[in-house]
Structure 1
Amino acid sequence: MKRILLIEDDVSISELQRDYLEINDFQVDMALDGPSGLEMSLTGAYDLIILDVMLPRMNGFEVCRGIREQKDIPILMVTSRREDIDVIRGLGLGADDYITKPFKPAELVARVKAHLARYERLIGKKETKKDIQIRGLFIDPDSRKVLVNEEEAVLTTKEFDLLYFLASHPGRVFGKDHLFERIWGIDALGDLQTVTVHIRKIREKIEADAANPTYIETVWGSGYRFKD
């Protein structure tokens, strides 16, 4: 049974979400504030974390950063404010997806199942993946580490997946819709702007000059291409 950590300070909302998840055969633990949620995230063996943005004592952005410093598991952020969505996109916090309130519990369950299924496929395919080394860039799919001129670049889950996919197909152009469906696996529920943001964050981490990239090239009107 998959274990879910639900970090939400509204008890009634938290209990409703827990009930729907448990009906769908998930084991759910709850945390009601940021610090306890972060501690449980780092000490517990969870398969996915549902993280509300507005939390007492420590907001969801801070919790997300703390989790990403030590763990690589799916994080679904929940927000009720449009400006929070912009922050999630713009800062590259490491969240795998976001969902806005109000939402139907069935949608939450669908998002959870989609991310867990995709993460399991990723883990299951690790052994068949090969290291990629091109110019000063080295990508190890087993350890999920990226080295740039022998210095480690720390990428989030989706940043790594996106970089590895593009680098695995050098010279090919992929549209945003294709990349979103391939990496996130839930194109009907997503936002193609997410791809743009992740490409920008990857460039900031692996390029000497993000404004003049040498690895991931923008093909205007078509998408992105990894330079071979």
Structure 2
Amino acid sequence: MHKVLLVDDDLGLSALLKKYLEGEGFQVDAVQDGEAGVSRALDGDYAIVVLDVMLPLLDGLEALRRIRQTSQIPVLMLTGRGDDLDRVVGLELGADDYVPKPCTPRELVARLRSILRRVSTAGQVDTVRATLSAGPLTLWPERRRAEWQGQPLELTSTEFNLLEVLARHAGHIVGKEILSEQGLGRPLARYDRSIDVHLSSIRQKLGALPSGRSWIQSVRGMGYQLVRE
């Protein structure tokens, strides 16, 4: 049974989501402000956090920033429908995905299961492929561990998934449809910028090639590729 931390000050919606999630086999704790959300996320044994953007005491984006300072626990953001800036900022701060409000409990459950499935199955690889290397990048998928140029590389679960897909195809272009399906666990949606934002964050963590180019190249109309050097 997966433990979920639900952080939302809308008591009616929170009660509805909690009841539905518990009916789907999740164990749910709910808090109503950002400060409590950060404290519980860092101290509790949760599999995932559902975090609303609009919260008292500490807004969801600041709460996410504080969580990411010390933890890579998966975080699903709840954002206002049409609030593209909040979604982009949330992804840049390390959110794994987002669901626009108002959302249906069924959609939330589907997104939660998708994230948790990616995290739990990412390590199910045979021993021959237990270590994945591409240039200065080394990944241990079964341990969710990454090194870049011999140094630990801190990645969110979604960033790890996307980088693993690119590493398995290093030197080759990977379409956004494949990245979405294998990295985000869902079909690519029209106008969805999630992949672009996650890869932008990874680029910053990897730094630049001696030539000044990025290690992750964007190929217009085709996708992305991890440079193999």
Say whether the fold is shared (TM-score over 0.5): yes
Code of the aligned partner of 2:208: A
Alignment match, 1:68: 68
SS of residue paired to 1:174: coil
Q: Distance in 2 between matches of 1:77 and 1:165?
A: 23
Alignment match, 2:88: 86
Structure 2: gaps of 5 or more residues: none
Q: How many residues align?
A: 226
- Kept in 2, the 8 Å contact 1:174–1:222? The answer is yes
Residue-by-residue CA offset, 1:62-101 (whole Å, 9 max, x unaligned): 2212222332232110011513123224xx1111110111
Alignment match, 2:77: 77
Q: Distance in 2 between matches of 1:28 and 1:88?
A: 22
Alignment match, 1:46: 46
**Are residues 4 and 211 of structure 1, via their aligned partners in 2, closer, same or farther at CA, if it must alter by over 3 Å?**
farther
SS of residue paired to 1:225: strand
SS of residue paired to 2:40: helix
Per the normalisation by structure 1, the TM-score is 0.87
- Kept in 2, the 8 Å contact 1:126–1:142? The answer is no
Pair 1:6 & 2:3 matched: no
Residue-by-residue CA offset, 1:22-81 (whole Å, 9 max, x unaligned): 111111101111111111111111111110011111111122122223322321100115
1:1-228 to structure 2, matched below 5 A, reads 1-80=1-80, 82=83, 83-89=85-91, 92-125=92-125, 129-141=129-141, 143-187=143-187, 192-208=192-208, 212-228=212-228
SS of residue paired to 2:93: coil
Code of the aligned partner of 1:85: R
SS of residue paired to 1:171: coil
Deviation at 1:210, TM superposition (A): 10
Code of the aligned partner of 1:157: S
Per the normalisation by structure 2, the TM-score is 0.86
Sequence identity, in percent? 37
Code of the aligned partner of 2:76: L
- Kept in 2, the 8 Å contact 1:204–1:210? The answer is no
Stretches of 4+ moved more than 6 A in 1? none
Structure 1: gaps of 5 or more residues: none
- Kept in 1, the 8 Å contact 2:172–2:226? The answer is yes
Tell me the C-alpha RMSD between the 2 structures. Answer: 2.5
- Kept in 2, the 8 Å contact 1:34–1:59? The answer is yes
Code of the aligned partner of 2:175: G
Q: Distance in 2 between matches of 1:149 and 1:112?
A: 33
Code of the aligned partner of 1:177: E
Q: Distance in 2 between matches of 1:147 and 1:15?
A: 41
Deviation at 1:218, TM superposition (A): 2.1
